[in-house]
Amino acid sequence: MMASKAKKLSPVLVLLLAVLCFVVGAAAGFLGAVRGNFTSPVDEYAEISRHGRRGSTAGGDIGGNLQIHFLELGNYYTGDCVYIKAGDTDILIDAGSKTSSVPTISAYLDNYVTDGKLEYVIVTHAHEDHYAGFAAKNGIFDLYECGIIIDFAKTNKDPAKGMQKSYLANLNAEIEAGATHYTAQDCIEQERTDFAVAEGINMKILDSYYYTNYSETENNYSVCMLLTEGENNYLFTGDLEADGEKKLVEMNDLPEVVLYKAGHHGSKTSSSDELLSVIKPEIVCVCCCAGSSEYTKTEANKFPTQAFIDRVAPYTDQVYVTTIFESDENKTFTSMNGNITVCSDGSRVWVVCSASDLVLRETAWFEEKRTCPAAWQK
Residues making contact with Zn ion (CB under 5 A): 129, 239
Nearer to Zn ion among residue 148 and residue 287 (C-beta): 287
Least Å distance, CB 257 to Zn ion, is 20
Amino acid, res. 23: V
Cα–Cα distance for residue pair 168/174, rounded to 1 Å: 10
Least Å distance, CB 130 to Zn ion, is 5
Least Å distance, CB 279 to Zn ion, is 20
- The C-alpha torsion from 146 through 137 and 165 to 173, rounded to 10°, is -40
Nearer to Zn ion among residue 35 and residue 268 (C-beta): 268
Least Å distance, CB 218 to Zn ion, is 9
Nearer to Zn ion among residue 223 and residue 358 (C-beta): 223
Nearer to Zn ion among residue 266 and residue 281 (C-beta): 266
Nearer to Zn ion among residue 239 and residue 345 (C-beta): 239
Least Å distance, CB 264 to Zn ion, is 6
Least Å distance, CB 127 to Zn ion, is 5
Nearer to Zn ion among residue 218 and residue 229 (C-beta): 218
The answer to whether 312 and 319 are in contact (CB under 8 A) is: yes
Helix axes 128-135, 162-176, angle to 10 degrees: 50
Least Å distance, CB 275 to Zn ion, is 17
Least Å distance, CB 229 to Zn ion, is 26
Nearer to Zn ion among residue 238 and residue 338 (C-beta): 238
Nearer to Zn ion among residue 129 and residue 282 (C-beta): 129
